[in-house]
């Protein structure tokens, strides 16, 4: 449980889980709230090197509360369920495909280092691992490829326009050799919120230019 303090660990053991969406006791997310991720629906947001872009819910109401609880409010116990809804949708995306050996390669959108420290680690990498575990339960082989990283100087993108987001990422999104799969492996890019689409487009372009085709982009939510 790296990144979780002793006090938080004790509370997790003593206090019963409550739904981060509605507060009902019994589980990190109740079935009713989890049903808000009923997609996938296609999202038209910026150039993504030909990859289909999909989201499971609009970034509003219950879905928004769940994403924020997981991402910003320490509810790491939501990862298995949120990863599970991604895994349930992924095999049915028209463009998504595994590699020649039947392995689904999942690439999490990277976070800024300062944000990762605050959140107890890269939150999308944790979500991708939960998605891979859920795919394995379906009998599908899956691997997480943390193939992208952000260099220093990237600002928080909240409130930035599309042009500002593009400028914010320019020259600061790199391939990470430690996380790259074999060349020409088809990849699935995973995100939690798509707003303008600038970030996923930049990620897809960086991967494509490095020789790694992005088959599809799948996000928990999309704004608008």
- pLDDT per position as a tens digit, 107-163: 999 976 555 555 566 899 999 999 999 999 999 999 999 999 877 655 565 655 666
pTM, two decimals, is: 0.84
Q: Would you say the C-alpha torsion 171, 177, 182, 188 has a positive or negative sign? A: negative
pLDDT band at 53 (very low <50, low <70, confident <90, very high): very high
Q: How far apart are the first and last CA of the chain?
A: 35
Which domains does the chain carry? 35-222 (3.40.50)
- Output Rg (C-alpha) for the chain, integer angstroms: 17
pLDDT of residue 2: 37
Q: What are phi and psi of 61, to 5 degrees?
A: 50, -130
Q: What is the DSSP letter of 18?
A: B
pLDDT of residue 178: 87
pLDDT higher than 80, residue 16 = no
Helices (H), the chain: 6-14, 31-34, 61-72, 79-89, 113-118, 123-137, 162-169, 198-209
pLDDT higher than 80, residue 29 = yes
pLDDT higher than 80, residue 170 = no
Angle between helices 61-72 and 123-137 (to 10 degrees): 110
């Amino acid at each position: 449980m790296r990144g979780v303090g002793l006090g938080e660990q004790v509370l997790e053991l003593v206090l019963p889980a409550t739904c981060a969406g509605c507060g009902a006791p019994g589980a990190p997310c109740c079935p009713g709230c989890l049903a808000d991720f009923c997609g996938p629906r296609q999202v038209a947001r910026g150039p993504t090197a030909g990859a289909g872009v999909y989201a499971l819910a609009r970034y509003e109401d219950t879905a928004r509360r769940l994403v924020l609880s997981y991402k910003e409010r320490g509810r790491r116990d939501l990862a298995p369920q949120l990863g599970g809804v991604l895994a349930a949708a992924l095999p049915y995306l028209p463009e998504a495909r595994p590699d020649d050996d039947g392995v689904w390669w999942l690439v999490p959108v990277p976070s800024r280092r300062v944000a990762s420290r605050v959140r107890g680690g890269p939150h999308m990498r944790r979500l991708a691992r939960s998605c891979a575990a859920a795919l394995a339960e379906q009998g599908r082989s899956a691997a997480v490829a943390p193939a992208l990283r952000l260099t220093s100087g990237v600002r928080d993108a909240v409130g930035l326009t599309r042009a500002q987001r593009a400028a914010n990422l320019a020259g600061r999104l790199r391939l990470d050799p430690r996380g790259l799969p074999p060349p020409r492996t088809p990849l699935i890019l995973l995100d939690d919120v798509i707003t303008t689409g600038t970030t996923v487009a930049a990620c897809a372009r960086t991967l494509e230019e490095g020789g790694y085709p992005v088959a599809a982009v799948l996000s928990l939510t999309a704004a608008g």
